[in-house]
Amino acid sequence: MANTFSLILVLVTIVTGIIWALEKWVWAKKRQLKFAELQAQTNDLDTSLEDKVLPQPWWVENSVSIFPVIALVLVIRSFIFEPFQIPSGSMKPTLLVGDFILVEKFAYGLKDPVMHSTIVKTGKPERGDIAVFRYPPNPSVDYIKRVVGLPGDIVRYSNEKQLCIQPRNESVCKPVPLSDVQKSNLGVNGMPLLQLSEKLGDVDHHILINPWRPVHPQDYQPRPGVSEWIVPEGHYFMMGDNRDNSADSRYWGFVPERNLVGKAVAIWISFEFNRDADSSLPSWIPTNVRFNRVGRIH
C-alpha cells in the first residue's frame, strides 16, 4: 500500500509539474499576447481584466495551485521523514498498536521513491536500530523490527531465549546482556509476560518474553537447543522486541539492504482503540490519546 501511494504521489507530481511549467512558460505568454491584441483593438480595455477575459482553465488553475504542495510532500516523504502506523504488537513494549511514528528516510541512504535504488549513500543500520523495511517475501508490505545481526554476524538464539551474537572476524559468541527481569502489565490470554532490559550495541531497550511458550519449532533449530543463522553480505537479521509474538528473520530470513526504508526515530502521536465488543463506534475511531508516549523512541 505504501509503495502504491509513493507511485501515485510521483505520478501526480510529474503531471502537475508539467502543467505548471507549460502554464508558466508557454500558455500564460500566449494569453498575454492574445490580450495585448485585444487591447490594441479596444483602447479602454483595463489590464486588470485579463484574468476575466482570458481565464485559466480550471484544471490548469488547480494543477498550478497544488504542484508546489505535492512536490514538497514528495521531497519530505521520499528523502526526509515518512509517517508510519504500528499495526501489530510485535515490537511491544517499545512500540504499541496505535503508535504513529516518524521514520528518518535518509538514515540508510537517499533512494528514489519508485525503484528504491540508492542515489546517495548516507549510512548503514547499526545494531539496535529500529528499522522499517519492505517485507522480503512481499515487498509491497512494510515491516518494522529491530536490527540484531549485521552482515557477517553469526546469530544464535537458545531455548532459554538468550540471544548471542558473534561479530565478523571474532571467534567468540557474546551473549547479549539481559537484566531487570520483571512481570509486565502486558500479557497473553490473561498470563503476564516477562519484561527484560536488553542491550544491543549501544542501545538499551526492553523486550517481552513469554516464559510458557517454546522458542520456536524444531525445524528452525540446526542442532538441539540452539538456533543459528549466518548473516550474508548486504543483508540484516531482524527481530521483534516481543520475542514470542513476532514474525521476523527467524522465520522468513534476512532483509536485503535494498529493502531498507529508514530508521524509526520518534512517536508523533499515539491512539488507543480499546472498546467493548458491543460498542457502536467504528473500529478506526480512537478511544484515547496517549500523550505520554509522544517523543523519541528509546
Torsion region of 228: left, alpha or beta (phi above 0 gives left; psi -120 to 50 gives alpha)? beta
Cite the beta strand spans of the chain per DSSP E: 81-85, 99-104, 110-111, 118-120, 130-134, 142-149, 154-158, 163-166, 174-175, 178-188, 191-200, 203-209, 226-230, 235-239, 255-256, 260-272, 288-289, 295-296
Q: Using one digit for the tens of pLDDT, what is the confidence trace for 107-161? A: 999 988 888 888 899 999 999 999 999 999 999 899 999 999 999 999 999 888 8
Radius of gyration of the chain (CA): 27
Using an 8 Å Cβ cutoff, are 17 and 24 in contact?
no
Distance CA 80, CA 104 (A): 6
pLDDT value of position 48: 62
Long-range pairs of 276-283 with CB within 8 A, sequence gap ≥ 24: none
- Residues of the chain falling short of pLDDT 70: 1-3, 43-53, 215-226
pLDDT at 32: 82
Give residue 20's pLDDT. Answer: 94
| pLDDT on residue 69 | 93
* pTM of the model as a whole: 0.83
Count of helices and strands (H, E) across the chain? 5, 18
Catalytic residue of the set 90, 227, 246, 249? 90
pLDDT at 222: 44
* Catalytic site includes residue 145: yes
The residue annotated as part of the active site, out of 145, 161, 227, 249, is 145
Q: Of 290, 128, 264, which Cα lies nearest the Cα of 200?
A: 128
Q: What are φ and ψ of residue 139, in 5° steps?
A: -60, -10
Domains of the chain: 2-79 (no CATH), 86-296 (2.10.109.10)
What are phi and psi for residue 260, nearest 5 degrees?
-70, 135
Using alpha carbons only, give the angle 44, 47, 51 rounded to the nearest 5 degrees: 120
**Cα-based distances in Å from 233 to 1, 92, 106, 264:** 29, 29, 21, 23
